[in-house]
Amino acid sequence: MNAFHRFQALHQAPAPLLLPNAWDAASARLFELAGAPAIATSSASLAWSLGYADGGALPPAELLAAVRRLARVLSVPLSVDLEDGYSADPAAVAALASAVADAGAVGINLEDGDQAPALLAAKIAAIRGALGSDRPFFINARSDVYLRRLASGAAAAAMSLERLRLYREAGADGAFLPGLASVDEVRSLAPAIGMPLNLMVLPGMPAIEQLHAAGARRFSVGPAPFLLAYGQAQTQMHCFVQQQATAGLFGQPLGYAAMNSALQR
C-alpha cells in the first residue's frame, strides 16, 4: 500500500485520524515519533517558521522547499495546508498542487475563505485535471462558514453543506469545517456531506471521542503546537535576558541526544 492509500485508509479506520500540525522537518519528525500515523502542516505555523505572516504571504518557492524537507524525514504520509492556493487563478493553483505532490505530499487542504464557493470548486477541478486519474491526491476542502461566522445556527449548517457538496462534485476527498464544535451539528452534517469530516480542535470543544462518535473522522490542531513551543521558548528567553532564573532552560524531556538521533535517518 503506497502513502496515498495509507492516508486514505486512515480516514475510514475505526479510530479517529489525529493529525499533528508541523512546521518544519524537526517538528514533523518528532510528531511522527510521538506516534502520529500521518502529519499535516499548519499554513500559519509554516509561514511563521519561514519569517512570513499568515494569510497568503508565503512565496510558493519557500513552501515547496519546506515540503521537500518535511517529506525527506518522514516515513508517514504528509498533507500540506495550501491556504487558498496562493492565487485566484485555478490553473496556477493546480500547478502549485502538482508541485506539492511532486515534492512528496499525498494531499492538501484548500480553503474558500470569504471567496465565492464556485472559485474553490474551480480550483479543485483544475487540480484533478492537472494530476489526472493516474496520480491520486487527497484534497481536503475547507469551508470557513463557521470559522468566519458567515452564518449561524441552521443557516450555517445549510451553507456549509451546500458548499461542501459543490466541492465534492468538483473532486474533493474530504471536508474541513474549522470552527464547528457542536456534537449535534456534527451528527447532522457528517452523513450528509458524503466525505470524511475534519474538525480543528479548539478550546472548550467536546471530547474528540464524542465528536468522533457523532461522525467526525479527522482532527487537527492548527497552529497550537507552534504557539506552545515558541511561547515556552519566548518565556524562557525573557528570563534569560532579564538575568532571572534559567533553570527552565534545562532538564526538558527532549534532550540533545534524542533530537540528534531522531534526524539520523
Q: Is residue 261 part of a domain?
A: no
80: which 3 cell numbers? 500540506
Contact indicator for 153, 200 with CB cutoff of 8 Å: no
Q: Scan for cell 487558498, then name that residue.
A: 84
Angle at 61 between CA 48 and CA 68, to 5 degrees: 80
At 162, is the secondary structure helix, strand, or coil? helix
152: which 3 cell numbers? 449561524
Q: Is residue 99 part of a domain?
A: yes
d(CA 204, CA 234): 25
Residue 89: the pLDDT is 98
Mean pLDDT of the 187-215 span = 97
Among 252, 249, 250, CA closest to 240: 249
In Å, how far from its chain's centre is CA 228?
17
Task: Encode pLDDT of 72-96 as tens digits.
Answer: 999 999 999 999 999 999 999 999 9
Q: What does DSSP assign to residue 48?
A: H
Q: Is residue 157 part of a domain?
A: yes
- Residue 28: CATH number of its domain: 3.20.20.60
187: which 3 cell numbers? 451528527
d(CA 207, CA 218): 13
Percent of the chain whose predicted confidence (pLDDT) is above 70: 100
Q: Is residue 252 part of a domain?
A: no
Task: Encode pLDDT of 207-265 as tens digits.
Answer: 999 999 999 999 999 999 999 999 999 999 999 999 998 888 898 899 999 999 999 97
First to last CA, the chain: 22
Q: Is residue 231 part of a domain?
A: no
Which structural domain range is residue 204 located in? Answer: 3-223
More confident residue, 246 or 31: 31
d(CA 32, CA 26): 10
Contact indicator for 144, 113 with CB cutoff of 8 Å: yes
Q: Is residue 174 part of a domain?
A: yes
pTM to 2 decimals? 0.95
d(CA 23, CA 42): 7
Q: Is residue 12 part of a domain?
A: yes
d(CA 115, CA 99): 24
Counting the structural domains of the chain, the total is 1
Q: Is residue 256 part of a domain?
A: no
Among 47, 45, 79, 29, CA closest to 224: 45
Among 61, 63, 150, 157, CA closest to 112: 150
d(CA 43, CA 82): 7
Task: Encode pLDDT of 34-71 as tens digits.
Answer: 999 999 999 999 999 999 999 999 999 999 999 999 99
More confident residue, 1 or 226: 226
